[in-house]
Structure 1
Amino acid sequence: MSALGRKTPDPAAYERAAEAGTLLAGLGITVVSVCGSPATRVAVERAIAAGGTVLSIVPPDEMPPPDWPATVVVPCGMGDARNLLMALSGDACIVIGGRAGIISEVCLAWLHKRPLLPLTGCGGWSDGLLNNPPDERKNSPILPWSSSAELKKPTSGAGFGFYWVAERVAWPVILSDDFWNRGCRESACGGFRNRCLRDCSWSTNIRSV
């Protein structure tokens, strides 16, 4: 799960970020983050404290300080091009607040059909993402959350049925050959056969693993 975020105007955003970090660690989900921005730093520190794994992709080509909050660090040396790695390293992207850099990551995630999980109710750019998506293509689901309970429970929106964090990311589903060969044309999986997000007539052939 990629965690994208910057400093936000509402202190409550940091509380929600901390709860998200604890939740993801408890579910056994690796958190991918730069770890340097205030909101995501809180999330990854809580994830590590809860025994979770945090992968930090940092822009320079040198290692960060020894106290950097991560269990694995990748000094990619790509500068702002690192945004593409952040957008695609997770099965989905949590978005907390955000400015230009986060907006670019969200747009890249959208282009590559990664579900977007914007924090709402705490101000910042992520608050309006559901009503102002990157464009009109409906490439991926946008699933707002305002508490860890909403982040964890199955939810629905935009006419779709979704497997949420515990079910979809930690326990993905696989589409049978019959399902695939009979021609699902919804593109909800983004081309990956184990990432169906739709609840439609084809879903009768989904089998859990």
Structure 2
Amino acid sequence: MRRPLAAVIGSTRATPDQLTIAHELGAALVEVGFRVLTGGLGGVMDAAFKGARSSGRYQSGDTVAILPSYLAEQASEAADVAICTGMNHARNTILIASASVVLAIGGRSGTLGEIALAWELGRPIICVGNSEGWATRLSGESLDDRRTDLLHGPLAPRPAAHLAWSLAASAPAPPSFT
């Protein structure tokens, strides 16, 4: 059975609180059955991978990095798989499109762009924690009238992981381009 991917997004320049939240979230996501997908660099991304690896249910292949460069050595040391895109910020399209659900922690303009892309692609979005950033500001909001749902949260890491699991199981099919 294929295990779903949960994208964890947030800043490379994360606060200590955001790093703690990301670590707890990474572990909780693996516990409920996800593989963890990030942009593969430092900050929230690295902390989520380290958390995923700390889970008792962790298996090799549970941490997948979608890198902005062609250099695999730039990936977090906790990444099991490094996908080198050479696409800089455009790699966010691959990251979000590959995920069943998107979980945002704090975040700056890059995270805001990923949230907007997740909204456009119909991915469920969960805001995790109450730290400064776009995820907290947008929690409980609708980005526009294209969808009837809201950005979920803010939630603590474990409840967020459980909600992610239920949303991934009931998510509608993504838009078709055929």
Q: The TM-score by the shorter chain falls in which range? A: 0.7 to 0.9
Indicate the SS of the match to 1:64: helix
2:40 to 35, 40, 64: 35
Q: Does the residue aligned with 1:45 lie in a helix, a strand or coil?
A: helix
- 2:105 paired with 1:96: yes
Cα pair distance change 1:151/1:62, threshold 3 Å: same
For residues 61 and 73 of structure 1, what CA distance do their matches in structure 2 show?
10
Q: What are the within-5 Å matches in structure 2 for residues 48-63 of structure 1?
A: 48-50=53-55, 51-52=58-59, 53-63=62-72
1:150 to 159, 171, 174: 159
Greater Rg, structure 1 or structure 2? 1
Which residue identity lines up with residue 25 of structure 1 in the other structure? V
- Secondary structure of the equivalent of 2:37? strand
Q: TM-score, normalised by structure 2?
A: 0.80
Matched, 1:189 2:177: no
Q: What is the aligned length?
A: 165
Residue 66 of structure 1: CA displacement?
7.8
Q: SS at 1:68's partner residue? A: coil
Q: Percent identity?
A: 22
Q: CA 1:135–1:37 in structure 2 vs 1: closer, same or farther (change >3 Å)?
A: farther
**In the alignment, what sits opposite 1:14?**
19
- Deviation, structure 1 residue 141: 4.1
- AA partner of residue 26 (structure 1): E
Q: List gaps (5 residues or longer) in structure 1.
A: 154-163, 174-187, 193-209
Q: Judging by fraction of residues, say which structure has more helix.
A: 2
**Aligned equivalents of 1:13 and 1:85: distance in 2?**
24
Q: Which residue pairs with 1:5 in the alignment?
A: 10
Q: Tell me which amino acid in the other structure corresponds to 1:96.
A: I
Give the gaps of 5 or more residues in structure 2. Answer: 1-5
Normalization by structure 1: what TM-score?
A: 0.69
Aligned pair in 2 of structure 1 residues 126, 28: CA closer, same or farther (>3 Å)? Answer: same
Which residue pairs with 2:143 in the alignment? 134
Secondary structure at the aligned position of 2:104 is classed as strand
Q: Cα 1:61–1:140, aligned 2, differ >3 Å: closer, same or farther?
A: farther
User: How has the CA–CA distance of structure 1 residues 67 and 21 changed in structure 2, closer, same or farther, with 3 Å as cutoff?
Assistant: closer
RMSD: 2.4
CA contact (8 A) 1:111 1:139 kept: no
> Residue 8 of structure 1 contacts residue 123 of structure 1 at CA under 8 Å; is this kept in 2?
no
Query: Alpha-carbon deviations, 1:49-93, whole Å to 9, x = none?
Result: 322401101011222258622111100111111011111111110
User: How many Å separate the matches in 2 of 1:49 and 1:114?
Assistant: 27
CA distance in 2, matches of 1:150, 1:40: 19
Out of 72, 76, 79, the position equivalent to 1:70 is 79
Please give the per-residue CA displacement for 1:78-112, whole angstroms capped at 9, x wherever unaligned.
Answer: 11110111111111101011111111111111011
Match of 2:3 in 1: none
